[in-house]
Amino acid sequence: MSQASVRERLAPYFWVTKPRIVELLLATAVPTLFLASDGLPTLISTIAVVIGGSAAAASANTYNSIYDRDIDAIMHRTGTRPLASGVISVRAGLIQASILGIVSVVTLGLLTNWLAAFLGFLAIVLYAVGYTVLLKRSTPQNIVWGGAAGCMPVLIAWAAVTGTLSWTPAVLFLVVFLWTPAHYWPLAIKYRDDYASVGVPMLPVVAPPKVVTRNVVIYSIAMVLASLLLIPVAPMGWVYAIGAVVLGVWFVAIALSLVKLTHKNSVGYQELQKPAMKVFHGSITYLALLFLLVGITPFVP
């Protein structure tokens, strides 16, 4: 069998884990390692969090793809996903998700501690069961409470280094928790028709544009305030303080641009798609840069 054919056979098993989401979660976990270590983390804890955290996220994402394969097959955005298109069988998906979950727990438990391992297991359960099964198809607040699973990497990383939890990782958790609706609702605006076609009650499906954009701004402001709360709690240095303020003002400004469109011009969802995606991509930049500041804080005098 040629290398090309091997790659083609393995590629669907890679993409079903949603690697872009895994990357984003690692972007919060790795800087937290530096903050928890007050400098360079040990090689063992870094390897454990990268492998264990990635495996946990990949496991949860695979379980999500298994359960959502029916609606994924209908929506334009997700119709080509491996489980939705039948490229990967449900049995193969379950085996992969389960193995990844075991790898996550065992890696974190043996290389760091069992608190980190438990948090990794909890992250899988929160996303695969809490969000995917219980919340996603039943409430417009699905992404709010279901988003808690995406906040777990900061707790896992902190526990992996310190063996405990404290107010600092709790604030980091809060930042990501408040960031999630401000990040995802703009994307849901873009794919509103997709969600409506399968009966998933994302907020843009069940609420008018004014309500959705107002909620994006409310969560954005709350997120920025939470990021500033980290300054006295951690405590953080002047580089983080200045950077968090600048990033916060910038992101709230682009979120407010959505509100202005819906309140002054009363535009519909079709006209909101392009500016909403600007907020969506801006939210990724915001989170990445904020956690970069978190990661470099221990090295700033």
If you average pLDDT over residues 33-57, what whole number do you get? 97
As a whole number of angstroms, the distance between CA 175 and CA 1 comes to: 48
pLDDT at 37 over 80: yes
- Enter the pTM of the model: 0.94
- pLDDT score recorded for residue 267: 82
**Is the confidence at residue 2, as pLDDT, over 80?**
no
301 — pLDDT class (breaks 50, 70, 90): confident
Question: 88 vs 11, 29, 62, 65, 99, CA distance in Å?
Answer: 10, 30, 11, 10, 16
Over residues 63-95, the pLDDT tens digits come to 999 999 999 999 998 989 999 999 999 999 999
The domain spans of the chain are 7-163, 166-301
Say yes or no to pLDDT of 193 above 90.
yes
Kindly provide the b/e burial profile for residues 7-34, where b requires at least 16 CB atoms within 10 angstroms of the residue's own CB.
eeeeebbebbbbeebbebbbbbbbbbbb
Q: How far apart are CA 184 and CA 147, in angstroms?
A: 10
**pLDDT tens column, 100-143:** 999 999 999 999 999 999 999 999 999 999 999 999 999 999 99
50 pLDDT more than 60: yes
Q: What does the mean pLDDT of the chain come to? A: 94
Give residue 268's pLDDT. Answer: 86
* Percent of the chain's residues with pLDDT above 90: 90
Name the CATH topology of 166-301. Answer: Four Helix Bundle (Hemerythrin (Met), subunit A) (1.20.120)
203 C-beta neighbours (distance < 10 Å), count: 23
Superfamily holding 7-163: UbiA prenyltransferase (1.10.357.140)
Structural tokens at position 204: 């843009």
Give me the mean pLDDT over the 202-218 stretch: 96
pLDDT of residue 262: 87
Of 263 and 154, more confident: 154
The confidence score (pLDDT) of residue 106 equals 98
